[in-house]
């Protein structure tokens, strides 16, 4: 979630989810020419919000909080959680997936001798392959790199990534081709900056975006994911503005799926007023959840940071799918938010997943 510049370094139906009985998703003739497309967005949670490090006031406390951070990450069992999310994805079989917070955690005796403890994206891909639903990461964008010593002498490094995954069988059979992968970080001037007093250094909480142009069974569209700012609405609005610039500047239909950190359930919230309205009004995108499910809540966030809460605490709709152009919404579903999603006493992520059934009009 952070990029440190100066530190070393969703009444279930019988089908996959609720859709209108008439016309049905499989009744392609009812819609004319086109193709069904299923997309998903999933924040897999990196295991920390770095609040420990952010709260350190001097160098010894900084070292202690780096230790606390990696211990807290380990306690969230990224390996177990990625296996659970892989099973969740395999059950839904989306064609394209947007992933946020897919983090690599490394530790070692020095900054030059680090070993990977958890590569969440690779763990997820391995889990999907185990479920015989392999995916290919067609665009991966690192958001930040962090490396620092801890109070135990162990160095801790993290690289957070966003990614776009496509079903491997679709690629292998030629049903999908991928072109024009793009991505990057939002500019520093549009990123939250915090003074880390323990090191007397200014840090940028920078976030990014990724896109690909997909030709899906003969119909082209652009797929975009991102991870705008969570802790300051002004920067979320600025970064959404950036996202509505070059990344979505195309004559192709566009599908955006991401953890937007927009309070889409609350019209009084500034992120709704400035970011959500920019997407749905100024830029002409349709909120897929609203188009399909109307006033149903569709909450996706957030469980406790340690993921140990027994009762789900999600009460915000911030993981969203937007469409623009010749794309119709046929159904939506929230995943990973019910009690049976928990594994070994943990939620698979602090977020739930969102799956959308769409129709690409040809």
Q: What is the separation, in whole angstroms, between the first and last Cα of the chain?
A: 38
- Per the DSSP assignment, residues forming a β-bridge with 359 are 36, 328
- pLDDT digits 0-9 by tens, 8-47: 333 233 233 333 332 333 333 344 588 999 999 999 999 9
Tell me what pLDDT residue 203 has: 78
Contact indicator for 319, 301 with CB cutoff of 8 Å = yes
Tell me what pLDDT residue 200 has: 76
Among candidate residues 256, 333, 328, the one with its CA nearest the CA of residue 296: 333
- pLDDT above 50 for 230: yes
Tell me what pLDDT residue 348 has: 98
- pLDDT digits 0-9 by tens, 135-161: 999 999 999 888 899 999 999 999 999
Mean pLDDT of the chain: 90
Tell me what pLDDT residue 197 has: 75
Query: H/E element holding 63?
Result: helix 59-75
Contact indicator for 82, 120 with CB cutoff of 8 Å = yes
Whether the model clears a pTM of 0.85, i.e. scores above it, the answer is: yes
Give the separation between CA 166 and CA 291, rounded to whole angstroms.
Answer: 25
- pLDDT digits 0-9 by tens, 331-344: 999 999 999 999 99
Region 349-360: mean pLDDT is: 98
Instruction: Please give the domain boundaries of the chain with CATH numbers for all domains.
Output: 34-361 (3.60.10.10)
What SS3 state is found at 136? strand
């Amino acid at each position: 979630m952070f990029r440190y510049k100066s530190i070393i370094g969703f009444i279930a139906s019988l089908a996959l989810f609720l859709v209108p009985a008439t016309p049905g998703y499989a009744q392609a003739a009812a819609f004319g020419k086109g193709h069904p497309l299923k997309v998903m967005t999933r924040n897999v949670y990196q295991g920390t919000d770095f609040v420990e490090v952010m709260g350190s006031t001097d160098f010894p406390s900084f070292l202690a909080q780096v230790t606390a951070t990696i211990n807290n990450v380990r306690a969230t069992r990224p390996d177990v959680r990625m296996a659970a999310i892989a099973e969740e994805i395999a059950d839904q079989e989306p064609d394209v997936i947007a992933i946020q917070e897919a983090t690599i955690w490394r530790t070692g005796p020095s900054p030059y001798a680090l070993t990977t403890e958890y590569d969440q994206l690779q763990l997820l891909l391995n889990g999907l392959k185990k479920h015989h639903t392999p995916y290919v990461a067609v665009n991966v964008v690192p958001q930040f790199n962090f490396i620092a010593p801890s109070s135990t002498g162990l160095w801790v490094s993290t690289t957070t990534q966003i990614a776009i995954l496509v079903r491997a069988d679709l690629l292998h059979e030629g049903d999908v081709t991928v072109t024009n992968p793009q991505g990057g970080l939002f500019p520093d001037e549009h990123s939250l900056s915090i003074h880390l007093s323990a090191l007397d250094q200014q840090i940028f909480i920078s976030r990014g975006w990724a896109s690909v142009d997909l030709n899906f069974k003969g119909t082209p569209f652009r797929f975009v994911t991102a991870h705008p700012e969570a802790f300051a609405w002004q920067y979320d609005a600025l970064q959404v503005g950036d996202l509505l610039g070059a990344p979505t500047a195309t004559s192709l239909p566009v599908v955006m799926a991401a953890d937007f950190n927009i309070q889409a359930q609350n019209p009084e919230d500034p992120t709704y007023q400035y970011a959500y309205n920019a997407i749905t009004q100024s830029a002409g995108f349709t909120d897929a959840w609203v188009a399909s499910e109307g006033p149903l809540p569709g909450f996706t966030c957030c469980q406790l940071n340690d993921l140990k809460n027994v009762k789900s605490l999600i009460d915000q709709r911030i993981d969203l799918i937007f469409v623009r152009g010749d794309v119709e919404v046929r159904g939506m579903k929230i995943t990973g938010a019910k009690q049976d999603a928990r594994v070994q006493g943990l939620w698979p992520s602090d977020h739930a997943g969102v799956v959308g059934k769409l129709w690409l009009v040809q």
